Amino acid sequence: MARSRKPSAESSVLLPGTALGVLGGGQLGAMFAMAARRMGYRVEVISDSGLVPAARHADRVHEVAYDDLGRLTEIAAGLDAVTFEFENVPAEAAAAIEAVTRLRPSAEVLATTQDRGTEKAFLVEHGFDCVPHRVVESAADLAAAVEEVGLPAVVKTCRFGYDGHGQRRLTAAADAAAAWESLGGGRLVVEAWVDYTCELSVIVARGADGATAAFAPAANTHANHILDISAAPAAVPAEVAIAAERIAGGVAAALDLVGVVCVEFFLARDGRLLVNEIAPRPHNSGHLTIEAAATSQFEQQLRALCGLPLGSSRSLAPAAMANLLGDLWAGGEPDWAAAVGVSGVRLHLYGKGQPRPGRKMGHLTACGATLDEAIASVLAARRLAARD
């Protein structure tokens, strides 16, 4: 039987040897576990499946449904602190955990960011520029919203959308009814189409004392709605980079977040930075910080969770990251020897079972003397892995 106790004091420091929990067992949980165990912490993974990447790096795995509040509470009561690696944990589960131990980020932050409608309302309330949008709850509302925001427009589910899932691009008002049906109805967000020059993301760590450390903005390109390449520091004017870091830090402070948050932006052609989405956890675009920053995003997550001083987010070198999707396995096992033969390239495989098209199986990172050199290296390594 797990011990029951009051929540850990927010100001207390958790030293190596204490037991930490991570909700979710995917690659983000695995990389958090590696960072934590390297620094001497115990890590217990809480997942609705035992066959997950993080299981290989954990001291213990708890296989439990995320809606089993009684079991989640029992597990959490035996841990000194808990964090999460994805947003699709029921808010009720987060609140139950927070009642018995330290949870960072908080259940309130999770509830705000796991619903696109709630997230947009938060951004508007706190004065952060975002894409013009409307939240709709019926097919009639959707048709009216399309008239208001104009065409083309993007329609997204409020919950459970990722990597292009749960969204449709509208180019004709007559397609609104079909979009409503294909997305399953419910609450949807209708966004105006943004004419942008690039997509940026900034990852910020924030401690319980309010101290923050922002990583340099990453420029992100997507293929089929899935992140393909991230490169940092992004090749944008200095004033844009400074503004993006300032806004991301402001979002973290407004959320009163303790942990790591990724703020994604559109850089509009007129120079405006528009907040697109908020992820209150490490992010795919920040994987390159493992090699290219003084402190990785995962170590920052650990430091914030445990009340340790945040590390430096200084860039060590220009870097690029290329995702490895299951499509790469179409012709058999990729040629990893050739890929890592490219100077400066590092390989990260997540240990997932069956490769599937669109499934993130790993990533490559390269550091270079210039950003162009780093990007060229990861692209060359991926081509070689595919035996092109």
Q: Residue 330 burial by CB count (10 A; 0-12/13-18/19+): exposed, middle or buried?
A: exposed
CB 3 within 8 A of CB 100: no
pLDDT of residue 166: 83
- Residue ranges of the chain that CATH labels 3.30.1490.20: 132-192
Cα–Cα distance list, 145 to 77, 140, 141, 206, 277 (Å) = 46, 9, 6, 36, 20
- Its CATH architecture, for the domain 132-192, is 2-Layer Sandwich (3.30)
Q: Which residues contact 238 (CB under 8 A, 6 or more apart)?
A: none
Q: What gap in Å lies between CA 58 and CA 34, rounded to an integer?
A: 8
pLDDT at site 386? 96
Nearest to 145 by CA among 96, 192, 193: 192
| Delimiting residues of CATH 3.30.470.20 domain(s) in the chain | 196-385
- Read off the amino acid at residue 157: T
- Superfamily of domain covering 196-385: ATP-grasp fold, B domain (3.30.470.20)
> How is residue 115 annotated by DSSP?
S
β-pair partners for 10: none
Range 19-103 has CATH code 3.40.50.20: yes
Contact 85, 32 (CB under 8 A): yes
Q: What is the DSSP letter of 65?
A: -
What is residue 3's predicted lDDT score, i.e. its pLDDT? 34
Q: Who contacts 108 (Cβ-Cβ below 8 Å, separation ≥6)?
A: 256
* 379 class by beta-carbon count within 10 Å (0-12 exposed, 13-18 middle, 19+ buried): middle
Provide the pLDDT for residue 9: 53
| Residue 234 tokens, joined | 């992004």
Show pLDDT as tens, one digit a residue, over the chain (388 residues).
233 334 445 669 999 999 999 999 999 999 999 999 999 999 999 999 999 999 999 999 999 999 999 999 999 999 999 999 998 889 999 999 999 999 999 999 999 999 999 999 999 999 999 999 999 999 999 999 999 999 999 999 998 766 667 889 999 999 999 999 999 888 999 999 999 999 999 999 999 999 999 999 999 999 998 999 999 999 999 999 999 999 999 999 999 999 999 999 999 999 999 999 999 999 999 999 999 999 999 999 999 999 999 999 999 999 999 999 999 999 999 999 999 999 999 999 999 989 999 999 999 999 999 999 999 999 999 999 998 7
Give the predicted TM-score (pTM) of the model: 0.95
Chain region(s) in the chain for CATH 3.40.50.20: 19-103
Residue 378 phi, psi dihedral angles, 5° rounding: -70, -35
Give the list of residues 6+ apart from residue 117 with CB closer than 8 angstroms, or none.
Answer: 135, 158, 187, 189
Phi, psi values for residue 255, rounded to 5° = -75, -15
pLDDT at 159: 87
Residue carrying the six token digits 């069956």: 354
φ/ψ of residue 16, rounded to 5:
-50, 140
Q: Answer for the pair 191, 177: CB distance below 8 angstroms, yes or no.
A: no
Q: For residue 165, what pLDDT is reported?
A: 74
List, in order, residues 6 or more apart from 233 with CB less than 8 Å away.
216, 217, 218, 241, 315, 318, 371
DSSP state of 138: S
- Give the three-state DSSP class for 27: helix
**Beta partners for 231?**
219, 320
DSSP assignment letter at 126: T
CB 343 within 8 A of CB 384: no
* Spatial separation of the C-alpha atoms in residues 61 and 52, rounded to whole Å: 9
The token duo for 205 is 């760590």
